[in-house]
Structures are given as structure tokens and as C-alpha cells.
């Protein structure tokens, strides 16, 4: 068994950039929103770097990039309208070009067989979680799933991690967070649990190794 799993009773996974490559569908929805607003499309290579802090921040980054903001930033009304367009577009095609990374299902099955509890904490709005997990064949593995809007705080705040661990009565020292971005590493540090980062995810275009996670993996297959 991989060292990262020593003394671990609960694994909390991130979703986007860790279990699934959702950037192509997120980019379609962002570009759909921008087109409706008569702004130029952003494209998947930019959108990938904007994922990880929830849909509102994604939309703000797209508006900032497109020049829709003046120096003082957009009004929250403008962001609200853009966010509604984005959410509608993403709801129409959440999984048209989304796929599970290699080794993910095998990893989830292996930990399930070992009796390790598994949960999902994403900054994605919670309404998208179930349809995406169902379409990817990832349903049935997680005792808890939390989205960016499930609690008042989201990653990098440790609150969603603490919420799940408390519900399962598991101490932080026995929890492993697996993610792709700085929010995941920072949430794990703040909660006091161990942290494993995958190298293939998004992390705003920066190498995740710079954040010194406890473990780095190129594939979740290595945890099987």
C-alpha cells in the first residue's frame, strides 16, 4: 500500500482537475456566456487556469480577461447576470466533453475495498455534483459530497473538510486530502490533515509541487 495511505481513515477528494477533466465543458459554458454578452471567447487553455475557486470567481476572471471590467471592477449585478448565463449553459452540457482521469475509478474501488471512508469536497456549485458523478460512474463511492455553496465557507477555508471529518468522527491526523490546486493544499494545511497533490490538474497554470504537499502523484492509479 502507498505510504500516503498509512493511518488514513478518510480520504477527501477534490473534483475538477483531480477526478475529472471538466475544463472543456466549463470552457464551452464560459464561451457561451461571453458570446451572449457580445464578448470574445476565452478558450479552454485560459479557462483551465481560472478553475478552482468556484463558478463566481471563474466568471469574474472571464469578465476581467475580456475587458468587461473597468479599473474599479464590475458591479456585482453584472457578475450576477453573467453567472446566471454561465450556470444555464453549464447545466445544458455538464459532461459533453468531460471525462474521468485514468486510475480514478480503480483508486476509489481500492479504497472502498480497504474500508477507508471517502468524501468529495469541490468548489463547484453543488447542483452539478450529482449529475456529473452519475454520468462519470463515480456515484456510490462518497459518504458526503459538498459543493462551493454547501457551507458559508469554501476551500481554501478548512470548514468543508472539518464538516465531513466531524460528521464521520475522524480526527484530522487520520484524513488525507487529495487535490490539484493551491486551495486544496491550503485547506488541508489549515485543517491539519495530510495532503496529496496530483500533478496533472489545473492549479492556475502553476506547478503544484511549489506548495510542498506531503505527497505528489502523477496518477491516482499509484494508490491502488
Ligand X SMILES: O=C(O)COP(=O)(O)O
Binding-site residues from annotation? 14, 16, 180
Q: DSSP letter string over 81-136? A: HHHHHHHHHHHH-SSSS-EEPTTHHHHHHHHHHHT-EEEEE-SS-GGGHHHHHHHH
In the complex, least distance from residue 171 CB atom to ligand X, rounded to whole angstroms: 23
132 binding ligand X? (CB under 6 A): no
Q: 54 is in the binding site of which of ligand X, Mg ion, none (Cβ under 5 to 8 A by kind)?
A: ligand X
Residue in 124, 10, 111 with CA at minimum distance from that of residue 58: 124
Q: Is 160 in the site for Mg ion (CB under 5 A)?
A: no
Q: Which of 12, 14, 94, 182 binds Mg ion (CB under 5 A)?
A: 14
Separation between Cα atoms, residue 193 and residue 176, nearest integer Å: 6
Single out the residue of 26, 22, 51, 20 nearest to residue 41, CA to CA: 26
Q: Which is nearer to ligand X, 114 or 218 (CB)?
A: 218
Grid cell digits, residue 174: 487520520
14, 25, 31, 32: which is the annotated catalytic residue? 14
Residues in contact with ligand X, shown as a per-residue x/- string from 1 to 20 under the rule CB under 6 A = -------------xxxx---
21 is a site residue for ligand X (CB under 6 A): no
Residue 149 catalytic?
Answer: no
- Which residues form the catalytic set? 14
Amino acid at each position: 500500500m502507498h505510504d500516503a495511505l498509512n493511518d488514513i481513515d478518510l480520504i477527501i477528494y477534490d473534483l475538477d482537475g483531480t477526478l475529472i477533466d471538466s475544463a472543456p465543458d466549463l470552457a464551452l459554458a464560459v464561451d457561451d456566456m461571453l458570446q451572449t454578452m457580445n464578448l470574445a471567447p476565452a478558450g479552454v487553455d485560459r479557462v483551465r487556469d481560472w478553475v478552482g475557486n468556484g463558478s463566481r470567481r471563474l466568471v469574474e476572471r472571464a469578465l476581467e480577461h475580456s475587458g468587461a471590467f473597468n479599473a474599479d471592477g464590475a458591479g456585482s449585478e453584472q457578475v450576477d447576470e453573467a453567472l446566471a448565463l454561465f450556470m444555464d449553459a453549464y447545466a445544458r452540457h455538464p459532461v459533453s466533453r468531460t471525462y474521468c482521469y485514468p486510475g480514478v475509478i480503480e483508486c476509489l474501488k481500492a479504497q472502498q475495498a480497504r474500508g477507508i471512508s471517502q468524501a468529495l469536497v469541490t468548489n463547484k456549485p453543488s447542483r452539478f455534483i450529482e449529475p456529473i458523478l452519475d454520468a462519470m460512474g463515480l456515484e456510490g463511492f462518497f459518504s458526503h459530497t459538498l459543493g462551493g455553496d454547501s457551507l458559508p465557507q469554501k476551500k481554501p477555508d478548512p470548514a468543508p473538510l472539518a464538516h465531513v471529518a466531524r460528521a464521520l468522527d475522524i480526527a484530522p491526523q487520520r484524513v488525507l486530502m487529495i487535490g490539484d490546486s493551491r486551495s486544496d493544499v491550503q485547506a488541508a494545511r489549515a485543517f491539519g490533515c495530510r495532503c496529496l497533490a496530483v500533478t496533472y490538474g489545473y492549479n492556475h497554470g502553476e506547478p503544484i509541487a511549489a506548495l510542498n504537499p506531503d505527497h505528489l502523484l502523477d496518477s491516482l492509479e499509484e494508490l491502488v
